[in-house]
Amino acid sequence: MKASAYYIILVLFTFASNLHGQQHNLTGKVTNTYGEPLAFVSVQVKGIGPSETKTDISGNYLMKLVNGQYEIVYTLSGYTVQTISVVVKNGDVVQDMILNDDINLLSSAGISARRKDRSEEIIRNAINSKEKNNYSGGYKSEAYIKATEETEFKKSKKKNSKPDTLPPSTSLNLAEINITRYVDYPGKIKEIRNGVTKRGDIDGLFYLSTTQGDFNFYRNLISVPALSESPFLSPVSNSGLIAYKFKMLEIDVIDGKTVYRIKVTPGKLGNALFTGEIEIEDSSWQIRKLTLSFPKFHLVEYDEFILTQENKKVNDSVWMTSTMEFLYKAKTGKAKYSGRTIVYFTDYELDYKFPKRFFNNELSATTLEAYKRDSAYWVSLRKEPLTIKELKYIR
């Protein structure tokens, strides 16, 4: 009996020890007060050695902890440090966190003013002005889209032909679309296609709908499912201050305003980060223009993809996107693709009042007249003339 009792106690003790030493997952998502995910947030256990982990591009984190009570500390430059008590007891724990802006940091404009290169200071000022500069009311606007793509096919060599003597054949695909666009905060969008003309195979053309991606760089993450399953991190974000390197390229005066042109490069390869340039206006800290390349290893269909975006004033205080240009290249087998899409946004009506139930599951609709528009209609809409090659193609 004594041996049996001893054996039972030993088994229970071993089970309890293993249970105590078993690791469980502490997971969660870190966001700002607008619900936007925060990348590169430091998450660590207070008072326990090297326990730090960081949130990923979507704000998610994971830690392995044994049973016990812990003080978890969340830290990211530009936000107040948050500490919360977490109890792990025989199972996984989910703990989300919302970080608040650090008011003291927002008011301190001289953090990097002593440096010769003021690029990071300029970017920080743009970040601190996002709430003021990012218009969040409802609006209506018009959008004209012209998308073209040239496809080059390499011909198969004939039996006795010399190398590289056969000229490749090319084809041109073209689409023009006129849209009335309705947008309301947060994330509500609807478009009406008033005019549509398509020539050739338009399946590979990018951005034939304004619902195809959100290119608002005042948001922390740029989500474009048509390009990548993963979102891209905006350089104009507190997480971007950690992820990117900045360098002042030029200081110019445009329309009486000082404008800073800043080079943007990833601090780490492998992350969903842009490479390019951003122009920011002094004092207002508005993004005037940006030209950014998307990382190739995050692109599903393209070998190269570049966005140029310009923003302009639509009244005394509000700036909105005026143009977007997408340039892209791809290669499949013997075919090479080279595409360009230009989008002009005009006739903004701000503080637009929408009727009840205006927004629903239908994001895009096409009028009955859309496909019946004549050449005079399209000539009146074009902000740039067609090229000689395009004119020959449509005739």
Question: Using 50, 70 and 90 to split pLDDT, how confident is the model at 126?
Answer: very high
253 and 365 housed in the same domain: yes
With respect to residue 113, please indicate whether it lies within any of the assigned structural domains. no
With respect to residue 169, please indicate whether it lies within any of the assigned structural domains. yes
319 has a pLDDT exceeding 50 = yes
Cβ atoms within 10 Å, residue 368:
6
311 has a pLDDT exceeding 60 = yes
Instruction: Please give the residue range of the domain that contains residue 15.
Output: 2-104
With respect to residue 116, please indicate whether it lies within any of the assigned structural domains. no
189 has a pLDDT exceeding 90 = yes
**Which residue do the tokens 């195809």 mark?**
212
pLDDT for residue 16: 47
pLDDT for residue 11: 44
- List CB contacts of 248: < 8 A, sequence separation 6 or more: 117, 118, 119, 122, 260, 261, 262, 263
With respect to residue 118, please indicate whether it lies within any of the assigned structural domains. no
pLDDT for residue 219: 93
With respect to residue 111, please indicate whether it lies within any of the assigned structural domains. no
pLDDT for residue 99: 93
pLDDT digits (tens, 9 = 90+) for 69-124: 999 999 998 889 999 999 999 999 999 999 998 866 554 444 444 446 899 999 99
Lowest mean pLDDT among 16-20, 113-117, 164-168, 296-300: 16-20
With respect to residue 120, please indicate whether it lies within any of the assigned structural domains. no
Q: Mean pLDDT throughout 163-186?
A: 83
385 has a pLDDT exceeding 80 = yes
253 and 289 housed in the same domain: yes
How many domains is the chain built from? Answer: 2
Mean pLDDT of the chain: 88
With respect to residue 31, please indicate whether it lies within any of the assigned structural domains. yes
62: enclosing H helix or E strand: strand 60-65
Rounded CA gap, 114 and 298, in Å? 37
Residue 58's domain is classified under what CATH number? Answer: 2.60.40.1120
90 and 140 housed in the same domain: no
259 has a pLDDT exceeding 80 = yes
pLDDT for residue 47: 85
Please tell me which residue, 315 or 157, carries the higher pLDDT value.
315
With respect to residue 253, please indicate whether it lies within any of the assigned structural domains. yes
